[in-house]
Structure 1
Amino acid sequence: MTKKGLLIVLFLVVIMSYPMTTIAKNVENDAVKVDICIIGSDNRFVYKIPKSLHNDTPYVEMKNNIESSLASHWKVEDPRYEILQTDVAYTFSIKDLIHEKQDGKIKIAIPYSYLIGMLGENDPIQLKILASKLIDWQTNSNDLATLGFVEPLTYFSEQEYVFEGEVNELLHQRVGHFNGSVMKGQMLLHIVIYFSFILAQLIACFILSRRLKKRIIKDPENMHQFRKLNYLYQIIPIIIIGMQIVFLISSGLLTAFGIYFDPGVDLLFVIVPVLFNIILMPMFFVTMESEIARELEYDSFGSDR
């Protein structure tokens, strides 16, 4: 094939693919996104509706319409909306989303007519379920994948299950029965790792504070730059605290605690280990500073004699 013929073929391919790409982008942009956030005591529905679909409907009226549909089945609190670049996000806290919760097992029933019945049946929709990585889910006695849900890769506490299709595909199912169960073995392993950061912090603070003391006692001139050395030896304990927080967020524990434990107890499991690690640093290094001052004073007094 000549160069001229090759250029003509490439031009035709580009022309043919452009409308398809444009149509695909329009479908994606025009899809209503509905997020079902199942995160323990703070469960909510978030609707992200493209501005192009509002037509002349005011945002407040759209919020009221959605709230009216949801309130006919659930207890809705704190309705609000936020204007984004291309969408308007409507958020509704659902206090009675979980209708059964016992021993790490939760049951949720979502009648799609109340959830998305206010949308057009042929409208494209993206339904996303956000829940803890440590919860295994089934819906209508099937794995979520069998009903068209996919699981995008996530790095934080929440696992995503995404369904993309038309509104009527969900309306035909009538009610989504979502049954979740905490994977207790995996959760226990993550709890052990999470609390082991306290032991790591304890060892690090003990060793590093001793080394700081030894360095200054060996050369008292270092006392003039004690603050700088003190910060230097606290870098590793600070890193341990950061790693503990990152593990808490990325492991799924942050949301699993809210599902598994009662309100208040989950906060204790989240906050106490991190708070304990933060307190350990001044406990060791402030105490060590006092010990160093006393020993240097004693050595100075002994040399004067």
Structure 2
Amino acid sequence: MKKKGLLLILFFLVVIMSYPKTTIAKDFENDTVKVDICIIGGDNRFVYKIPKHLHNNTPFVEMKNNIESSLESHWKVGDARFEAHQADVAYTFSIKDLINEKQNGQMKVAIPYTFLVGMFGENDDIQLGILASKLIDWEANSKDWATLGFVEPPTYFSKQEYVYEGEVNELLQQRVGHFNGTVMKGQLVLHSVIYFIFIIAQLIACIILSRRLKKRIIENPENMHQFRKLNYMYQIIPLMIIGVQIVFLVMSGLLTAFSLYFSPGMDLLLIIVPILFNIILLPTYFVTIESEVSKEIENNSFSSDM
């Protein structure tokens, strides 16, 4: 009984000690303005997520216009929109000239924090996130990210992320964020080669499987009435190759790296052509099989009749 009593007391102490921390964390989360800087190629943008209770009865359209006015003091703002969620409102601004300089895989981005977050109170809590391609090596103010207060949470797709949490005033004291990016050409070439190898894998798979399907039906003509079912079954592996290829494109970082490294149009060509080619290979080898099989079965039956 004494052990149970001690365990209960210990449990209540843990709950009491953790409660204030949980409450503080929730308050910080609810009172924090989140700003995401997305440096992901052609579609570079700023995304502001402002809790609804921090608007202080300011209409969403007016808030959007206030932020846009501050951004337009330094950048060329393209599309601007907002989307209301349950707890906050997301304001998205497309920035046409976010990358100041881009040449031979080298990129420079300068972000004056006054124009980025100067519209908020200096003592307001802010979470600044920078999203960039995994295949780009970024440097901030020629220093380590940690010395500037940024952390790197784990990411699972084609982007890497750096996150800063603090007060607006602390960012304003840094004045300008200078971000220099360098394309990791070795990894870019390696991932690109792997990406294009999927075409060879698809070609081999389609040739082998279509021939096996053809041989199976010719050797057993009674399977002809199940042709469609068998046809779909033999296409599973080529379809899986296309799926894996798309997943690799997203997970490897190529999706954003192509947009940052190559000129508009060329990046889309490199992204779409390998997938499109693999999709075209499917009907090339499988759609025509039915007519070929039918002709061979007819020829075989005609020869046997003779």
TM-score, normalization by structure 1 = 0.96
- Which residue is 1:42 aligned to? 43
- Which residue is 2:240 aligned to? 239
Secondary structure, counterpart of 1:172 in structure 2: helix
- What letter corresponds to residue 292 of structure 1 in structure 2? V
Q: Indicate whether 1:87 and 2:83 are aligned.
A: no
- What letter corresponds to residue 232 of structure 1 in structure 2? M
- Which residue is 1:257 aligned to? 258
- Which residue is 2:203 aligned to? 202
Q: Is the 8 A contact 1:137 1:144 kept in 2?
A: no
- Measured in 2, the distance between the counterparts of 1:168 and 1:241 equals 49
- Which residue is 1:281 aligned to? 282
- Measured in 2, the distance between the counterparts of 1:105 and 1:57 equals 41
> Cα distance, 1:255 vs. partner?
0.3
Q: Indicate whether 1:54 and 2:55 are aligned.
A: yes
Structure 1, 10-19 or 272-281: larger mean CA deviation:
10-19
Map 1:59-78 to 2 at 5 A. Answer: 59-78=60-79
> Cα distance, 1:93 vs. partner?
0.3
- Which residue is 2:271 aligned to? 270
- Which residue is 1:291 aligned to? 292
- Measured in 2, the distance between the counterparts of 1:2 and 1:268 equals 69
- Which residue is 1:248 aligned to? 249
Map 1:179-218 to 2 at 5 A. Answer: 179-218=180-219
> Cα distance, 1:149 vs. partner?
1.3
- Measured in 2, the distance between the counterparts of 1:3 and 1:224 equals 71
- What letter corresponds to residue 224 of structure 2 in structure 1? M
Secondary structure, counterpart of 2:42 in structure 1: coil
Q: Is the 8 A contact 1:48 1:89 kept in 2?
A: yes
- What letter corresponds to residue 163 of structure 2 in structure 1? V
Q: Indicate whether 1:21 and 2:22 are aligned.
A: yes
- Which residue is 1:32 aligned to? 33
> Cα distance, 1:280 vs. partner?
0.3
- Which residue is 2:156 aligned to? 155
- Measured in 1, the distance between the counterparts of 2:173 and 2:242 equals 49
Q: Is the 8 A contact 1:34 1:48 kept in 2?
A: yes
Q: 1:298 to 1:18 in 2, by over 3 A?
A: same
> Cα distance, 1:6 vs. partner?
5.8
Secondary structure, counterpart of 2:12 in structure 1: helix
- Which residue is 2:128 aligned to? 127
Q: Is the 8 A contact 1:31 1:123 kept in 2?
A: yes
- What letter corresponds to residue 272 of structure 1 in structure 2? V
Identity %: 76
Structure 1, 112-121 or 147-156: larger mean CA deviation:
147-156
Secondary structure, counterpart of 1:40 in structure 2: coil
> Cα distance, 1:291 vs. partner?
2.1
- Measured in 2, the distance between the counterparts of 1:239 and 1:107 equals 39
Q: CA RMSD in A?
A: 1.4
> Cα distance, 1:3 vs. partner?
5.4
- What letter corresponds to residue 95 of structure 2 in structure 1? I
Q: 1:52 to 1:297 in 2, by over 3 A?
A: same
- Measured in 1, the distance between the counterparts of 2:86 and 2:123 equals 25
> Cα distance, 1:20 vs. partner?
2.7
Q: 1:10 to 1:282 in 2, by over 3 A?
A: closer
- What letter corresponds to residue 216 of structure 2 in structure 1? R
- Measured in 2, the distance between the counterparts of 1:274 and 1:287 equals 21
> Cα distance, 1:56 vs. partner?
1.2
Deviations 1:258-298 (A, max 9, x none): 00000000000100000000000111112332321221121
Q: 1:212 to 1:147 in 2, by over 3 A?
A: same
> Cα distance, 1:146 vs. partner?
2.3
- Which residue is 1:230 aligned to? 231
- Measured in 2, the distance between the counterparts of 1:148 and 1:130 equals 16
> Cα distance, 1:143 vs. partner?
2.4
Secondary structure, counterpart of 2:287 in structure 1: helix
Structure 1, 15-24 or 61-70: larger mean CA deviation:
15-24
- Measured in 2, the distance between the counterparts of 1:219 and 1:123 equals 76
- Measured in 2, the distance between the counterparts of 1:281 and 1:6 equals 64
> Cα distance, 1:4 vs. partner?
4.8
Secondary structure, counterpart of 1:47 in structure 2: strand
Residue-pair matches, total: 305
- What letter corresponds to residue 213 of structure 1 in structure 2? K
- Measured in 2, the distance between the counterparts of 1:9 and 1:294 equals 81
- Measured in 2, the distance between the counterparts of 1:304 and 1:14 equals 88
- Which residue is 2:302 aligned to? 301
